[in-house]
Chains A and B, each alone.
Chain A
Amino acid sequence: MSGQWRKLGVQAGASVAAVAAAFAIGAVLMLLIGVNPGLVYARLFEGVVLNPYGVAQIFFKSTPLIFTGLAVALGFQAGLFNIGAEGQMLVGAFCAALAGFGLSMPAFLHVPVCLAAAFLGGMIWAAIPGALKIKTGAHEVITTIMMNFIAMALTSYFVVSRFHEPETVHTAAVAVTARLPRLEAFSSFFHGSPANATFFVALLACGVVSWLLWKMPLGYELRALGLSPAAAETAGIPVDRRALLAFAISGGLAGLAGTSFVLGYKHYFEDGFSAGAGFLGIAVALLGQNSPLGVVIAAFLFGGLSHGSLVINALVPKEIIEVLQALVIILVVVANQVSKRWAR
């Protein structure tokens, strides 16, 4: 077990160091444009962490990021680069909306059916590049990126000219039975925040993925595939079928990312709702070191930062937050390589 813990410590250390270094470089940049970074960071902390509304926003903003981060992380564990979480999320969200306003059934059924539709949509969207990879060897980085563009254009077309409500770019609202409640319904702490019960679905997904990866024979096989495809093949693991399955599960998880918006917040699919949560999922997975718990923590950080951009907007252009996010990603990739050399 000691090796395991050591590795965990090194990984966590790399992520923490990357975040700290990103904030330090961010401070230098702020000084260069004549802004006091101390003030900005103090305001950020106060507005996001010390303020109940800010905390509630972390829950809300991190929900889709947990799903997409988890999707990318599971892919990485199996040795696959799923860069297509954005497209899978869009297709999943659209399917959830269709099932939400198109079907009618009692709530105890309707919500699971909509979630299943979202999962299925993302899964199918990921299975296409998966099948291309195992049948032809086409690299998934290229194909999943391209599938993103197709998903964006396709959902955009459907929502603008087929399924839209007049005068809007969104679909009809999902039935009341298909909606997930806001957290403010349970606690006044969340008053005024769109944070909703999808958050708990995301946590549940983390638990399930943890179990799958580290307790089930399937996860043992997927991780073996990620670490050493030749050894997995030699040991008789059907590597092609497993890779396709990993794609499908990864895509399904990404497909769930939009349900926070569709089932829990606005209750419809809207063109351009995602704000790049699929792409940010790659960053979340990297920072979270591809572990479900790490993904939750990283999603909190990125969710908090994205709410923080509004909090500090008066002091410094909010784009500084995007700079910080980008720095975190670059530095975590650097830190991972450096720490690997140390750990050897």
Chain B
Amino acid sequence: MADPKTPLAVQMTGIVKEFARCRANDGAGLSVAKGEVHALVGENGAGKSTLMKILYGLYTPDGGDIRVGGAPVRFAGPEDAIAAGVGMVHQHFMLVPTLTVAENVVLAREPSSLGGLVFDKARAEAEVEALSKKFGLALDPKALVGDLSVGEQQRLEILKVLYRGAEILILDEPTAVLTPQETKAFFQILSGLRAQGKTVILITHKLQEVLAISHTVTVMRLGKTVGSVATAKTSEAELAQMMVGRPVLFQVERTLKDPAVIAKSPAVLELRGVTVRSSRGHDALKDVSFTVRAGEIFGVAGVEGNGQTELIELLTGLRTPGAGTMTLVGKEVDFAAASAADMFRRGVAHVPEDRHRRGLVLDYAVSENVVLGRHREPEFASTWTIDFSSVRAFAERMIKDYDIRPADPSAHAKALSGGNQQKVVVAREMSRGPKLLVASQPTRGVDVGAIELIHKKIIAARDAGAAVVLVSAELSEILSLSDTIGVLYRGAFSGILSVQRATEETIGVLMAGGKA
């Protein structure tokens, strides 16, 4: 709780925001003391982002009271919020890659001469350099944004907000795209901001980070504020219970397998010397070889954008390699004829990274989504008709097995929460009894309760004898599920090791391209 003696930077009370189908904020409140790092946590769909978008002026609340620095405010748009000293760094960066750092920072507020006719680039660069020194955000003002690393781009986004004079910074899931090392550097930046008297509100779902860097935590659930606690006085388990409303298992139970035993089971997937070109034209995978055996979970760790997407697309028939061979259950894949349909027939199931775009037809009902790809199987259809009653019966079974809510087969997929959407995808893919399960970011943006269930199902697939390739940006997920871990760095494995030998530190070093 904020100390009553220190002035409040932000005070939001009784915030209500209704959308056509749901009440995203239902009397939510937030009190942030000046100069603190305040974490805002909650499951997906709890209303954190809505609350922050209201504070940043992107949404107008239907009810409630907002005070910034003690004064009541009504923001008609982000411009008003910026004028009041509130800035926001979005999860997805909004930068112009062909402009320099300085040009991006000053965009829309360019220093100029000749009464606004000429852009004063030198002054922009000097101002940006001074600002980045002051806050310890090391960046070359003349560098092209397209050449920056993800961590540098994030620093640039923060710099942009500071340039606009923000006193209160809202950061939306800032560490989602960072390596463990970059995350450490980011924490440094946060303490630098605090030292300069800035107030930071951090939207996150990583409870360990919350404990490491925040002073106060506010937990939201179902649009309401559950409570605020001083970070020093709480624990991961307590926060998780506040978020979900019940105790949560963090580590799914599984039996560790001896690498020697795994080595004896038959190979399901073998890649040899595979090179894949990315959509942007460079080699996204370079001479990659690995084997995944029946009953083995092969975890692929690495910072996003190091070839994971291309690897997944290769395994699921959405992309063909430039060189190399791929063997599935003893048969070499003929890439000239390969397609998603072909891989599907060979027993490859796919939980895609982007479930909205690739995993689901959002405007289809749950029942229609749960048979997507299986809709021509004799159980569900003949050439001329789909047997909707058997589709519905199947959907009802899946809804029960996977605890999908609402338990209504005719609900549209887009009306479901992220976690329930993902359960639909996982239910469908598992129901096919796959030989190879390819799961990419299976629990991204998914609530804690659903994570538990999805992890159990992945382990169950392994124990049923499937080979699993698991790609995840969450190191803890990789470590708690995998039997073997491969770390991708710039399109190649910087290391492949058994989970018994892996620690967060060794993987972190490999993720940055080092040697284990």
Contact = CB atoms under 8 A, between A and B. Distances in A.
Asked if A and B are interacting partners, one says: yes
Interface of A: 1-4, 215-217, 220-221, 223-224, 227-228, 230-238, 342-344
B2 interface: no
30 contacts: A1-B410, A3-B411, A4-B365, A215-B384, A215-B385, A215-B386, A216-B384, A216-B385, A217-B381, A217-B383, A221-B375, A223-B364, A227-B362, A227-B363, A227-B364, A228-B360, A228-B363, A230-B357, A231-B357, A232-B361, A234-B316, A234-B373, A235-B373, A236-B317, A236-B342, A236-B343, A236-B345, A237-B373, A238-B339, A344-B21
A224 B361 contact: yes
B361 A234 contact: no
Interface of B: 19-21, 316-318, 339-345, 350, 352, 354, 357-365, 368, 372-373, 375-376, 381, 383-386, 410-412, 415
Contacts of B363: 227-228
- Most A C-beta atoms less than 10 A away, residue of B317, B340, B360: B340
A231 B368 CA distance: 12
Contact of B386 (A1, A2, A220): A220
Nearest to B371: A220
A274 B363 CA distance: 37
A63 B203 CA distance: 59
A343 B358 contact: no
Contacts of B350: 234
B411 A343 contact: no
Contacts of A230: 354, 357-358
Contacts of B412: 3
Given A216-B385, A217-B386, A344-B19, A237 B341 contact: yes
Chain B interface mostly? loop
A162 to B, nearest CB: 42
B415 A233 contact: no
B20 A234 contact: no
Given A217-B383, A236-B339, A3 B373 contact: no
A276 to B, nearest CB: 32
A11 to B, nearest CB: 13
A216 B338 CA distance: 26
Contacts of B386: 215-217, 220
- Most B C-beta atoms less than 10 A away, residue of A1, A227, A230: A230
A2 B360 contact: no
A1 B367 CA distance: 11
A224 B372 CA distance: 9
Nearest to A341: B20
Given A2-B410, A231-B372, A236-B345, 4 more contacts: A217-B381, A223-B364, A228-B363, A235-B340
Given A3-B412, A220-B368, A344-B21, A234 B383 contact: no
Contacts of B340: 233-236
A223 B365 CA distance: 12
A215 B384 CA distance: 7
Contacts of B385: 215-217
Contacts of A236: 317, 339-345, 373
Given A217-B376, A224-B372, A344-B20, A234 B364 contact: no
